[in-house]
A and B are shown apart, each in its own frame.
Chain A
Amino acid sequence: MSDAQAAGKQVVPLAVALEKLSRLEQENKLAEADDLANRMLEAMPKHPHILHLAGIIAYRNGRIAQAVERMETAQALAPDVALYPRNMCEVYRGAGQLDDALRAGRRAVELAPNEARAHFNLALIHYERLELDEAVRVAERAIELDPEFAEAHFEKAEAQLLAGRMKDGWESYEWRFRLKQAEGMLPKTDKPQWDGAPLPPGRLLIIGDQGFGDCIQFSRLIPWVASLCPQPVLACSGELTPILRQIPGVGRMVTRWEDTGDYDVYIPLSGLPRLAGIDTDNVPPAGYLTPDPALVEQWGARLNRLLPEGKKRIGLVWAGRPTHKNDKKRTLKLAQFAPLFARDDVVIVTVQKGEQIAQVGDYYAHAPLINLGPEIGDFLDTMAILKNIDHLVTIDTSVVHLAGAIGVSASLVLPYAPDWRWLLGREDSPWYPSVRLYRQDKPYDWSGVIERVAAAL
């Protein structure tokens, strides 16, 4: 009888334990995985694969420094295992260590030159470093190895679009519906996608896919669609119906697949720019949404009562939806807007929604601040409030699309490698002329950005 058995412990073969650890991580049972990883590390502290998996689990649990330490040890113990640098590439990216990420990504490709995922991970790092040609080239190599690799196609699309190569980008962008996270975005149907040809009234189904911001951004193309296919049915989430109803040409609006009725073809909203041949120089103008005048008056009166006179009203959004894949990159803490709060001539009106409004409880800076988020019911409220402020300062979230769509002046703070729609190296946006862009100078580093926003007010 071994010592473990003598102590009443169950003895499990290592391979079984490793398989279980991996499964727990994949099933998102992170606390259980953490516990098992720690016990396995206690028994075998120098086993590279335990260390590697334990690193991934630490990363998933938000302990990034520990993840890096564990995974670096694993790699030092087994320098020729391609999986390790491949995964480390992503962990380094999460840690904001892009040089290390690049090194790990290249090492992974070197060790496994025929593995598509290694190339894909490296492409992601190139995107983050704004090495867009390299990102496209490496993503294409991943696609060569695995032509059905949807994520690589999508990564290529994002790099092409960010670089302003819109025509190529739109084509690759079509792969977005084959991504795992796109499941359920489109109806289960054997009907074809619309090809841009005219149709009788009511025979086209438009689908508000992607996030709220995307829908607001692309809805400007609905009048063009309606000129070819009158009264298209628009399927979108209930939050969007009050504002998208305003777009000229929209037919029936539905919020459930079973209500769409019969149709001949469908098209996602995000597929319209490709069909319409949108490039940076032919974007249909903003101003296609209009706040409800009664609500504008109502919120105006309320703000007049709540806010001191004689100060610039600055709207503020500092955090996005935490489940967004790039939220960590785009979201700030309220306190990081300190240079804005130090101005004597402003009053802050937060239009932030969600759990992050709790940060207002820690606000003690110079400028008066009104936490309006708790009273905002829907996008109509948000638009009416935006009409009653002097300027919006925001991260990349749906509110900037609303401001842009109704022509409200806004400062948008962007990460070093932003979402493709904000393009590169410019302070303006062809999509929203009223929005001015403020970009990070270095990846993951907001220093200087808010100072520039505050100084320009």
Chain B
Amino acid sequence: MAEQAWPLQDHTVLLDDQAAAATKYFNEKKYAEAEALALKILDLAPNQRMALRVLYEVRKAQNQVPAALALARRLAALPGGAPQRAAAHAQLAHYLVGLGRHAEALPAAAAALKATPRDATAQHVMGVVLTETGDFLAGERHYRQALARLGREDGLVLANLAWNLKQQGRLAEAKTLYDQALALRGDNPRGIGGAAQVAFARGERARAEALLDDALRRWPEDRPLRLLRALADLAQDRAQAVLDRLSPVERLIAPEFLARGQAQDRLGQLREAVTSFATARRIQRERAGLTYQPAPLTARAAAYQSYFTADRVQPLPRAAAGPFTPVFLLGFARAGTGLLEQLLAQVPGFAVGDAAGSFEGLADAVPRLAASEHPYPEALDDLLVGDNQQLPEQLRQMYEEQRARLGLLRPYIRFITDRAVGNAWHLGLINLLYPEAPIIHVLRHPYDLMLANIAQDRKLEGNAHAGLPALAHYYGLHAEMIRHYRGQLTLRYLPVRYEDLVADPAAVLAEILAFIGGTAPVPAAEILRANAGPLPEPQPAHFIFREPVHTRAAGRYRAYLAAMPQLFAEVQAELAPWIERLGYTVEEARA
């Protein structure tokens, strides 16, 4: 049937010689001739595979992303034998991976894999896509299958597998794999960068810097390596060295401007820092088309708030208690949930789950498991019917299996933290699966959150990192979601403040332990402040940034306001109600 949709396909072979000539032009770097000939062929036969491929390569080389992507998609949609289809899908997936659009690459990578399941490259690409979209365990499986299909050690696959393990916090295994990978293939600057990050996370900071310095001697123009080296300086308070490395400013890209801005912040050059942050975001908007996309977020918020009301949720079945108590660490990006998790990791009986738990995935599974005609959350109504009443139990077990696979269910563990970013959306489902789990909400002054997020090279939902107004709007959505759930559900909820946490970590931990019924002693204040105690693996990726607890970022907005009184003018209206509700104030700016 599919063949009938492409009646020209059989005739396109008549143009193969011409297409081969176009390919030859391209290989000889005669791009204009290659392009002209390919276009001529495609005028006659729009689906001529080789000509499409040539034009795709030309557009890719010209960095015409939308055109190249459209061509790659056309190629992937062409019929043909399994190897041809697999190659086209793999090509599309590769291109999207190269653009950093990993989630979009998933269907193409999956199609390539399904067409040629024995192909090591298809397994490898799948590993890359899954790892970069946060599904580390599945990514690891595909990398290992790629190695098995290859039947030999491969430096690139091993390095990528090492990066995956590093993301899982399995640092010792990652180090071993990086050593093997780089011995096999030393000309891998990304691999060396990953190895340096593992060394840094393991506390071998001098070794990490040596690895990066050696690599930079070999590839002095390698910008990701240079940025990593600058970030190593930043982590060790060598702010001036960061500025020296990341110059001249005329040639910098967005992540480099952000690193410069952070260094300038440390040096007290606040106006310059703001200029760097703003420049980075402008570059992202203008060159990469970064724009805030709030519509899906606001639609989701409206749907969840409409469903999760006290009267509607109360009759739904709940799961019984499981073998451990999850402790949900809630907070806006950069609020301090990472720091809190690092500190809790030092309390006996705690295991750290970071963002690996996936209530997002569980919510997605509800309509299917409940055989509901409705999407989530309306599908939850089906939990009232028949065997579906057992579904919360089943979902809870699915969540526990995720934790077990990460090796977190150790015998002496009572509490496992979960700081997944999507938890603010899913307090309703959390309440059904864990009605008595503690929810610790880390609050932080909204202006400080704006500063922390605008300075960091981290993606947020809906591209909310695109600028201050986007951040403020997203903050309001996030805060309103939590506010709604608190008003409609019985939650075991405790708010703590970042400002208190950094001022007196022991006191805040004692408060949390008293709230959740933890009986272990709070580590001594100086141990908590050092935030460097040995910890069992796996360790979450953010543990790489462990540093002594400091107060310099609490109330940082004051100095910025003193230097630039109008800095928050465009977000003031959005944030003022939250500042008041949360019990914060905007303190007088003092120059």
Contact = CB atoms under 8 A, between A and B. Distances in A.
B386 interface: no
B490 A372 contact: yes
Interface string B108-131: 000000000000000000000000
B485 to A, nearest CB: 8
B504 interface: no
B443 A364 contact: yes
A328 to B, nearest CB: 21
A363 B487 CA distance: 9
A131 B485 CA distance: 46
B583 A306 contact: no
Given A308-B514, A308-B515, A364-B583, A371 B484 contact: no
B492 A361 contact: no
Interface in B473-512: 482-495
B441 to A, nearest CB: 9
B290 to A, nearest CB: 32
Given A306-B436, A364-B582, 10 more contacts: A305-B436, A359-B487, A361-B482, A364-B443, A370-B493, A371-B489, A374-B310, A374-B313, A375-B490, A377-B314
A375 B491 CA distance: 11
B411 interface: no
A361 B484 contact: yes
Interface in A358-376: 358-365, 368-375
30 contacts: A306-B436, A306-B490, A306-B492, A308-B514, A308-B517, A309-B514, A309-B517, A357-B487, A358-B484, A361-B482, A361-B484, A361-B487, A363-B486, A364-B495, A364-B582, A368-B494, A370-B490, A370-B491, A370-B492, A371-B486, A371-B487, A371-B489, A371-B491, A372-B490, A373-B310, A373-B490, A374-B310, A374-B313, A374-B488, A375-B490
Interface string A341-357: 00000000000000001
B581 interface: yes
Interface string A413-446: 0000000000000000000000000000000000
Contact of A360 (B436, B443, B486, B514): B486
A310 interface: yes
B278 to A, nearest CB: 32
B436 A357 contact: no
Contact of A374 (B482, B489, B493): B489
A373 B514 CA distance: 23
Interface in A369-400: 369-375, 377
A274 B293 CA distance: 68
A7 to B, nearest CB: 39
A372 B314 CA distance: 11
A370 to B, nearest CB: 7
Contacts of B482: 361
Contacts of B443: 364
Nearest to A373: B310
Nearest to A335: B581
Contacts of A305: 436
Contacts of B514: 308-310
A377 B314 CA distance: 9
A302 B483 CA distance: 23
A358 B487 CA distance: 4
Interface of B: 310, 313-314, 436, 443, 482-495, 514-517, 581-583
Interface string A195-207: 0000000000000
A373 B490 CA distance: 7
A308 B487 CA distance: 20
Nearest to B514: A308
A306 B431 CA distance: 13
Interface centre among A359, A362, A372 (most CB of B within 10 A): A362
Interface string A251-285: 00000000000000000000000000000000000
Interface string A304-315: 011011100000
A38 B483 CA distance: 37
Given A372-B490, A373-B310, A362 B517 contact: no
A309 B515 CA distance: 8
A422 B302 CA distance: 44
B19 to A, nearest CB: 64
Contact of B314 (A359, A369, A375): A375
B488 A358 contact: yes
A60 B482 CA distance: 34
The 10 closest A-B pairs by CB, nearest first: A361-B483, A358-B487, A361-B487, A374-B310, A361-B486, A375-B490, A308-B515, A305-B436, A360-B487, A362-B581
Nearest to A347: B515
A360 B436 CA distance: 18
Contacts of B492: 306, 370
A364 B314 CA distance: 24
Contacts of A377: 314
A357 B514 CA distance: 25
Contacts of A370: 490-493
Nearest to A311: B514
Contacts of B313: 374
Contacts of B314: 374-375, 377
A302 B318 CA distance: 13
A20 B136 CA distance: 71
B517 A371 contact: no
Interface string A33-66: 0000000000000000000000000000000000
Nearest to B577: A362
A343 to B, nearest CB: 15
Nearest to B581: A362
Nearest to B582: A364
A357 B494 CA distance: 17
Contacts of A364: 443, 495, 581-583
Nearest to B482: A361
Contacts of A309: 514, 517
A150 B107 CA distance: 76
A365 B492 CA distance: 15
Nearest to B311: A374
Contacts of A369: 493
B15 to A, nearest CB: 66
A362 to B, nearest CB: 5
B504 to A, nearest CB: 15
A390 B484 CA distance: 29
Contacts of A310: 514
Contacts of A361: 482-487
Nearest to B309: A374
Contacts of A362: 483, 581
Interface centre among B314, B490, B583 (most CB of A within 10 A): B490
Contacts of B483: 361-362
Contacts of B495: 364
A299 B402 CA distance: 32
A337 to B, nearest CB: 15
A373 B493 CA distance: 15
B312 to A, nearest CB: 10
Given A306-B436, A308-B517, A357-B310, A374 B581 contact: no
Nearest to A375: B490
A361 B578 CA distance: 12
Contacts of B583: 364-365
A310 B517 CA distance: 11
A309 B582 CA distance: 26
Nearest to A369: B493
A86 to B, nearest CB: 41
A374 B312 CA distance: 10
Nearest to A302: B436
A340 B583 CA distance: 16
A308 to B, nearest CB: 5
A305 B437 CA distance: 9
A418 B310 CA distance: 31
Contact of A357 (B488, B516, B517, B581): B488
A44 B385 CA distance: 63
B305 to A, nearest CB: 11
A377 to B, nearest CB: 8
Nearest to B486: A361
